[in-house]
């Protein structure tokens, strides 16, 4: 949240400077024929600064980052309120996440139960984390034979690989805002339910 506010504050400063310069030039007798062109150029420059600064800020990764405490997977498991989301149009699997278990933690990781359902009705249930800042995901545990089986020394993996597509789509569709987490679980649900309203 702090990072986003810094980006907006700096962007606003850039736009104000551009507007101030334009007013000064107009008052000093800037040729009227060129005023429109000057305005357009300054606006384009200001917008470019906004995009550049925002991208640079969001791309920063804390070298001293450490993962925070990890909540235990939910027990007993309740899959009655799953939210669907699309991973691939050609996939036979149907994908869901569980808003009841989703956490947006202070370490910048979105953690939730994710379910993949096969055409035969078999569920693959996982407890995973998504780190928006680095486009990585981590599998903490799988649900097997009525209990959670934790992974031994799980590590962060790139979401942009074939194995991470389910995490990547969840991140892009709602869990992440560029390189930062969504503000709330409700925001994630609303963005995935109503993509035309919220945008991608």
What pLDDT, on a 0 to 100 scale, did the predictor assign at position 47?
A: 41
Q: What phi and psi values does residue 30 have, to the nearest 5 degrees? A: -55, 130
Q: In 3D, which of 133, 136, 112 has the Cα closest to residue 178? A: 133
Q: What is the pLDDT of residue 90?
A: 85
C-alpha–C-alpha distance, residues 183 and 91, integer Å: 30
Annotation: CATH topology of 83-198: Lipocalin (2.40.128)
Measured CA to CA in angstroms, residue 7 lies from 10, 65, 164, 167 at distances of 5, 20, 29, 26
Q: Provide the residue-wise pLDDT of the chain in tens; the chain has 200 residues.
A: 434 434 334 444 443 334 444 345 445 554 554 445 444 544 444 444 433 343 334 447 888 999 999 999 999 999 999 999 999 988 899 999 999 999 999 999 999 999 999 999 999 999 999 999 999 999 999 999 999 999 999 999 999 999 999 999 999 999 999 899 999 999 999 999 998 887 65
Segment 145-151 long-range contacts (CB within 8 Å, at least 24 positions apart): 147/75, 148/73, 148/75, 150/73
Q: Where are the domains of the chain?
A: 2-59, 83-198
Query: Residues of 155-191 as b/e, b for ≥16 C-beta within 10 angstroms?
Result: ebeebeeeebebbbbbbebbbbeebbbbeebebbbeb
pLDDT value of position 29: 54
Query: What is the rounded end-to-end Cα distance, in angstroms, of the chain?
Result: 19
Q: Phi, psi at residue 87, to the nearest 5°? A: -100, -45
Q: Which two tokens stand for residue 20?
A: 């101030």
Length of the chain: 200
Q: Which residues lie closer than 8 Å to 132 by C-beta, 6 or more apart?
A: 108, 110, 171, 175, 176, 177, 178, 179, 180, 181
Peptide bond into 60 cis (omega under 30): no
């Amino acid at each position: 949240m702090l990072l986003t506010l810094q980006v907006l504050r700096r962007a606003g400063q850039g736009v104000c400077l551009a507007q101030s310069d334009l007013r000064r030039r107009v008052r000093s007798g800037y040729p009227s024929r060129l005023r429109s062109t000057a305005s357009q150029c300054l606006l384009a420059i200001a917008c470019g600064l906004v995009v550049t600064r925002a991208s640079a800020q969001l791309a920063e990764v804390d070298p001293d980052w450490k993962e925070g405490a990890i909540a235990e997977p939910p027990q007993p498991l309740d899959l009655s309120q799953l939210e669907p989301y699309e991973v691939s149009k050609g996939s036979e699997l149907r994908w869901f996440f569980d808003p009841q278990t989703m956490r947006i933690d202070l370490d910048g990781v979105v953690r939730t139960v994710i379910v993949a359902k096969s055409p035969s009705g078999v569920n693959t249930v996982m407890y995973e984390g998504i780190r928006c800042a680095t486009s990585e995901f981590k599998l903490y545990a799988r649900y097997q034979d009525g209990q959670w089986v934790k992974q031994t020394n799980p590590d962060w993996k790139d979401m942009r690989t074939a194995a991470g597509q389910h995490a990547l789509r969840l991140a892009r569709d709602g869990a992440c805002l560029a390189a930062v987490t969504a503000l709330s679980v409700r925001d994630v649900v609303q963005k995935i339910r109503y993509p035309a309203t919220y945008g991608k």
